[in-house]
Amino acid sequence: MRHSNHGPVLTRMLGDTGSLIFVVVLIALTVAVPLCNVYLPEASALHVTDYTVALIGKYLTYALLAVAIDLIWGYCGILSLGHTAFFGLGGYAMGMYLMRQIGDRGVYGNPVLPDFMVFLDWEHLPWYWHGMDLFPFAMAMVVLVPGLLALVFGWLAFRSRVTGVYFAIITQAMTYALMLAFFRNEMGFGGNNGLTDFKDILGYELSADGIRNALFVASGVGLLLGFLIARFIVTSRLGRVLEAIRDAESRTRFTGYRVAYYKLWIFTVSAMLAGVAGALYVPQVGIINPSEFSPIASIEAVVWVAVGGRGTLYGAALGAGAVNFAKTWLTGAYPEIWPYALGILFVAVTLFLPKGIVGLVSQLRRRMRRKEPS
Amino acid sequence: MRTCTPRGTTAAAVLALLAVLALAPCALAQNNGQNEGQNTDSNASEATPATSESPAPANDATVESGRDAQASDEPGDTAEAQAGADGESEPGADTGEDEDSTEYAATIAELADASYPEKRDILNRLVANPNAHTPELLTAFADNRLVVRESDQRVFVAAEERDETYVLRDPITFEAAGKAATRDFEPVRTNVGLRGSIESGQAQLRLQAEDAETRLAAVETMTEKLDDAAADALRAHRPEENDDAVLEAIDRALAINDLNTGDNAAKLAAVERLSGDFNQMVYNRLNNILLLIPEDTEDRDQAQLRAAVAAEVERIDWWRGVYDQLETLFFGLSLGSILVLAGIGLAITFGVMGVINMAHGELIMLGAYTAFVMQQLLPGHVGLALVLAVPAAFVVSGLVGILIERSIVQWLYGRPLETLLATFGVSLFLQQLVRTVFTPLNRSVSAPEWMSGQLHFNDMFALTENRLVIVAFSLAVFAALILVMNRTSLGLKVRAVSQNRDMARAMGIRTQRLDALTFGLGSGVAGIAGVALSQLTNVGPNLGQAYIIDSFMVVVFGGVGNLWGTLVGGLSLGVLTKFLEPHTGAVLAKILMLIFLILFIQQRPRGLFPQKGRAAEGS
């Protein structure tokens, strides 16, 4: 990978062909899909149905999560098997805001308490629900809560040099513990059922066409910004240090860098990106429940990155899209086959495609180029 | 003759039909005119004892024959027996029995308009002088199935059918007595107190049972509902009793009876006699006395009694506390031994070889399914199948493990994160495979007899045998594994390769073959763990997932590469969890354990017992 650390920021960030193509395609997608949904007649071959808009919107949020994972795994060698914990926390923060927006239109008609709290016979709103009815505050929480958890968790882990497999296992324990905790009704997050039955966002009805497209655009913009931030980081000097840590942690430490702080910093940023992805995910799907925290979901997200190609960022986004598209298609067409396919995919990618789809493409291109002169 | 009447329940109908077929010739011959009139009342009176005043001679014959031929409660049997009896019954029973049954019939007839205290008295008389059908009669009584016909105040046992009719039976012989509309009857009412007495009466009848356990249960039921009649019955039965446990229960019941009814001296003596008895009923009774006597009583006798009782209750409470702790400890060890079993295979693949095998849980699951399949292959030999399942599961999971190692893991040595992902794919694959082959439904593996009882120390402390067996089993597996690792050439080679692969190869160890064998060993042990787990939970495709995170935690907690660490780590985590649970609830305890482990690993990244020396440096 060539690095151009000098020159204007934009050329630095988009100097890489893959990244440039990705950004262009992403912008085109973000603009075209809503337009095709609204302006093309339903009979048209290019018409995008409401369902597809929501589906691609969901893929975009997954892609953002994948970018967040690739940022730490691909560039700093930190494998987190608990990244959906941050995704879920961001989602819950958004869910809490949406829940408060229901107001007295719930089944029990309580203006303050969400339905499940009335059902549990609670009298007051728990302290952590206060302020969640304000959009800016809730959005701050979307970023701050996952960030804070990552900061504390990472500080404990990186300070004592928990690395590699051990780190993977304890992140898995973390998301598992969170899942168990959120399953408890006493936690005040709706237990098993999670948060759902949302009505409005910012005063607009969630099910309206305009809002669906707006959320789609927001996801596209979110992914674009997330990608650019990540790209900015990895092409900066800081990014070089991160790669040094990935390739030779001890040597970097002996060179005088405080490895733990670099790791902590990138881990926290990644968790915040994952939180934003979760927050964009919830209004489009309409529900958030504890199964989002399940360790399997985290591992699956890591596989998206591996399939797309580690350490390229756009590869991660591509992998998230491809695997989820395959999942939607296969679970619809052959529900029995999907787990087999996923299992084989895990094995095949690690054994035969260590650099993922992106690696495969560049390998093919190299082979073509070699053939051309002859 | 009423045998030919169709019965309410299908099973009985089938049996009756068989009886009818077998006896068709004679039954038909005798029955000619009667089938038409079955549903009318007039028929019923012919074969049933009418009233206490006028027992017809024919009745006695029926009563007798019913009694002789009838030992079981099955209505179908009754039908058969009576069909037989009808064919061969001859009048002329002996007169002593005759008198008894007359009195018995009279007692039952009194039920028609008795008050509750009278009913209790009637009940005691019936129990004191029972016939073969008295247990059934009492059951019917307790279920509110005794009814009185309004027209002539006769008592029947009724079973309600649809369309508001009763199928009637005679309360003495339990012969069918036709059908009639419910509106002509009034039930013999019971209340809670009376039903308690009925239960006690039923127990009293069971005191005569052959089986000591039935007698013991009977005494216990009677103790719960003690009255003078029951105490008398126990006292009367005591000399004939020869089973120690039953004797002890009778003595306890009599002492409790003294506590209830005796004078102060008798009560004090009873407290003395009950000392050291941890039975729940004794405890309740003593606590009851504490409540009844005010703390600042003026009466000296009462005060003395209260002091004695209070001392005894305190003693029991103390012991109860001790036993509770012991029980929690046992539950903890039992949970811990499961964790050890689940983790010990991983201690080899992960700890010794350094391979992250996310499919470890599925290897456990395969072991559990092997146990299930063995039981299907050997129906009727539950225990044998389970014992054979242990080596079978070792082979099945071990072979699958070797297959995984040869096909996937061997290409990924030194790349732990990739191994993790690939083996996770294997775990998904295996899960779905099991779902396809065995359906996603949970299967249950039945427990053999030697694992389904309880080891009874005293009334406060009993350990379930299946957990005891599993604790012992996991220790045995652990010991066997330690022996393999420390005393066999395989173990020596495994340790050599894990410490210095290149040097080991230079010494002529075929490392590739050894890797496969080691992986197979760890996988096989996982399969054995699955057999043990099949005794505790249902066997389903998700069985392994529940244990994978726990297993990794145990191994990492104990210290990677150290089998003893896994043992100590697993047991202590189990005990810790069980001691937390009463205070926090199961889920929170689990969450706290996970948080504890996360913090622990951060404090001591190499676990409780870190590996020392050159081998540790590389990891």
Last residue of a domain, one of B273, B292, B311: B292
Angle between helices A295-308 and A83-102 (to 10 degrees): 120
Q: What is the mean pLDDT of residues B282-297?
A: 80
Residue B81: is its pLDDT beyond 50?
A: no
Residue B591 near chain A (CB below 8 Å): yes
Question: Is residue A277 classed exposed, middle or buried when 0-12, 13-18 and 19+ CB atoms within 10 A define those classes?
Answer: buried
pLDDT at A264: 96
Q: Which residue of A has its CA nearest to B604?
A: A160
Cβ contact B587–A170 (<8 Å): no
Total Cβ atoms within 10 A of residue A129: 18
Q: Which residue of A has its CA nearest to B546?
A: A176
pLDDT at A164: 80
Range of lowest pLDDT (A188-192, B129-133, B398-402): B129-133
Residue B114: is its pLDDT beyond 50?
A: yes
Q: What is the DSSP letter of B539?
A: B
pLDDT at A37: 87
Residues B200 and B186 in one domain: no
pLDDT at B273: 80
Residues B476 and B364 in one domain: yes
Q: What is the mean pLDDT of residues B100-114?
A: 78
Residues B166 and B203 in one domain: no
> Does a structural domain hold residue B409?
yes
> Does a structural domain hold residue B298?
no
Q: Tell me the average pLDDT of chain A.
A: 89
Residues B520 and B435 in one domain: yes
Residue A343 near chain B (CB below 8 Å): yes
> Does a structural domain hold residue B411?
yes
pLDDT at B27: 39
> Does a structural domain hold residue A183?
yes
Residues B186 and B212 in one domain: no
pLDDT at B70: 41
Q: How far apart are CA B585 and CA B562, in angstroms?
A: 32
Q: Do residues B526 and B423 make contact, with C-beta atoms less than 8 angstroms apart?
A: no
pLDDT at B97: 54
Residue B430 or residue B51, greater confidence: B430
Q: Which residue of B has its CA nearest to A335?
A: B432
pLDDT at A112: 82
> Does a structural domain hold residue A3?
no
Q: Do residues A94 and A278 make contact, with C-beta atoms less than 8 angstroms apart?
A: yes
Query: From residue B73, how far is each of B76, B82, B198 by CA, in Å?
Result: 9, 13, 18
Residues B342 and B282 in one domain: no
Residues B55 and B142 in one domain: yes
Residues B219 and B71 in one domain: no
pLDDT at B52: 40
Residues B427 and B489 in one domain: yes
Give the closest of B408, B429, B588 to A340, CB-based.
B429
Chain segment B383-413, per-residue pLDDT in tens: 889 899 999 999 999 999 999 999 999 888 8
Query: From residue B68, how far is each of B65, B74, B84, B93 by CA, in Å?
Result: 5, 15, 11, 11
The residue range of the domain holding A160 is 9-371
Residue A354 near chain B (CB below 8 Å): yes
* Confidence band of B360 (pLDDT split at 50, 70, 90): very high
The domain tally of chain B equals 3
**CA-based nearest distance A162→chain B, Å:** 6
Cβ contact A170–B417 (<8 Å): no
Chain segment A88-100, per-residue pLDDT in tens: 999 999 999 999 8
pLDDT at A210: 85
> Does a structural domain hold residue A74?
yes
Residues B512 and B489 in one domain: yes
ipTM of the complex: 0.84
Rounded to two decimals, what is the model's pTM?
0.73
* Confidence band of A27 (pLDDT split at 50, 70, 90): very high
Range of lowest pLDDT (A34-43, B410-419, B429-438, B458-467): B458-467
> Does a structural domain hold residue B320?
no
pLDDT at A373: 61
Percentage of chain B exceeding pLDDT 90: 18
> Does a structural domain hold residue B308?
no
Give the closest of B417, B425, B591 to A168, CB-based.
B417
> Does a structural domain hold residue A227?
yes
The domain tally of chain A equals 1
* Confidence band of A246 (pLDDT split at 50, 70, 90): very high
Residues of B in contact with A350 (CB under 8 A): 412, 418-419, 421-422, 425
Chain segment B135-166, per-residue pLDDT in tens: 778 888 878 888 888 888 888 888 877 777 88
Collapsing DSSP to helix, strand or coil, A277 comes out as: helix
Residues B170 and B198 in one domain: no
Cβ contact B602–A157 (<8 Å): yes
The residue range of the domain holding B500 is 325-442+463-618
Q: Do residues A106 and A119 make contact, with C-beta atoms less than 8 angstroms apart?
A: no
Question: Is residue B287 classed exposed, middle or buried when 0-12, 13-18 and 19+ CB atoms within 10 A define those classes?
Answer: middle
Percentage of chain B exceeding pLDDT 70: 82
pLDDT at A342: 86
Q: How far apart are CA B543 and CA A93, in angstroms?
A: 33
> Does a structural domain hold residue B526?
yes
Residue A323 near chain B (CB below 8 Å): no
Residues B139 and B243 in one domain: no
